[in-house]
Amino acid sequence: MKAEIIAVGTEILTGQIVNTNAQFLSEKLASLGIDVYFQTAVGDNEERLLSILEIARRRSDLVILTGGLGPTEDDLTKQTLSKFLGRDLLFDQKAMEKLDDFFASRPDRVRTPNNERQAQMLEGAIALQNRTGLAVGGLIEIDQVTYVLLPGPPSELKPMVNQELVPLLATGEQLYSRVLRFFGIGESQLVTILADLIDKQTDPTIAPYAKTGEVTLRLSTKAISQELANLKLDTVEQEILAHGNLAELFYGCGDDNSLAKTTFDLLKETGKTITAAESLTAGLFQASLADFSGASAVFKGGFVTYSMEEKSKMLDIPLADLKEQGVVSTFTAEKMAEQARKLTESDLAVSLTGVAGPDSLEGQPAGTVFIGLATAEKVESVRVNIAGRSRSDVREIAVLHAFNLVRKTLLKA
């Protein structure tokens, strides 16, 4: 089914309001297996709305109009659709009763004839009752095209869609998706590796998305149940992870997942505690841990040691050694991690030191980061080059690398 959304309201075109309804409806229709092909915004003008309806009738199976169902003269959506389809407007009994009750309970409000426009619906339409407002919505099918009228205010539209419209549109087949998350590879490289799968994709579909420091793949399929969808999604996921070294770069699934969340969950599962000593990231790693409920079970506390003197003082590292080795070095990263673990008696410690930019430091270019990791068994470090990125990106990506290092260490244990 091809769907089209027409938002009616001059205030949308002038930028006075943002059309959040289109996003909500597109997501809702996608979950029902209905594809939205077009979105249009048109002002409160009968002639222009009629022209859009004529175009929509020729190219879409489902046309959803939002807004313009109110009592004022510029609320003309219902009247224009009535003219376009050649259907009279009749009063819906339930909507009239709600209108009566509303004004009966508010004697201070004057009821005028135009208020009753909100209770009108096209002849032959299925009324969509408004649980939070007064303007009734409707659904009518004419010449194999289904037209839906919805109010503009999101507080009225969303309940009407969820409670009234969705049961009428549900066909049994829905859209199911799975998000695969990868760290340590760019979008263009990932797409190149998967070129054969992406080029021949039909169902499920594969859509790559780049985020700061990572890439995701959204797999989507239509099916009548989650179980049947899983069979198709599992097959494609296995094919993807069999390409190159993608299985090593894959760290989890889900829209709301992240490297920090995956690592946090591993810490809880293994009963391990962690601390951190941060320089260029200034506590960002620790703040990311603290975002999760129950963080105190795995995170005892940590250190933000921005200057060389504070690294020496807070972590008990000889200042002379730091001056000799430099703060942007393997030595400093490993010492920071080692001392942080000892001082807090944690199972693991991670450290971050480097050059966020834009200038170089100690002869090291911006984007150079050393990450240390200490456990009871060993102390190690990795050097990461995050060149050509903004200061904030360098810090954010460095933290992702730190979480990934901890994650891989926990998986090996």
DSSP 3-state assignment of 349?
strand
222: Cβ–Cβ under 8 A, 6 or more apart, which residues? 33, 173, 174, 175, 176, 203, 229
> How far is the C-alpha of 73 from the C-alpha of 188, rounded, in Å?
52
- pTM here is 0.75
**Average pLDDT in the 350-355 region?**
98
Backbone angles phi, psi at 118, to 5 degrees: -70, -20
Q: Residue 107 above 90 pLDDT?
A: no
Please list the helix, strand and coil fractions of the chain in percent, rounded to the nearest 5, in that order. Answer: 45, 25, 30
Contact criterion met (CB below 8 Å) for 25 and 64: yes
Nearest to 181 by CA among 404, 1, 5: 404
What's the mean pLDDT when you consider all of the chain?
95
**Average pLDDT in the 93-114 region?**
87
Lowest mean pLDDT among 60-64, 112-116, 142-146: 112-116
Contact criterion met (CB below 8 Å) for 411 and 405: no
Which pLDDT tens digit goes with each residue over 369-394? 999 999 999 999 999 999 999 999 99
Lowest mean pLDDT among 11-20, 107-116, 183-192, 348-357: 107-116
User: Could you tell me the pLDDT band of residue 222, with boundaries at 50, 70 and 90?
Assistant: confident
Percent of the chain exceeding pLDDT 90 equals 90
**Average pLDDT in the 344-352 region?**
98
> Strand locations in 224-363, DSSP E?
250-253, 274-278, 303-304, 348-354
Please tell me the total number of residues recorded for the chain in this structure.
413
Q: In the beta sheet, which residues pair with residue 368? A: 385
Give the pLDDT score at 225.
87
Which pLDDT tens digit goes with each residue over 282-337? 999 999 999 999 999 999 899 999 999 999 999 999 999 999 999 999 999 999 99
Give the pLDDT score at 52.
97
Give the pLDDT score at 108.
79
Q: In the beta sheet, which residues pair with residue 149? A: 65, 138
| Structural domains in the chain plus CATH codes | 2-169 (3.40.980.10), 174-253 (3.30.70.2860), 259-411 (3.90.950.20)
Which pLDDT tens digit goes with each residue over 131-155? 999 999 999 999 999 999 999 999 9
Alpha-carbon dihedral 391, 394, 398, 399, rounded to 10 degrees: 50
Give the pLDDT score at 301.
96
Which pLDDT tens digit goes with each residue over 168-200? 998 778 889 999 999 999 999 999 999 999 999
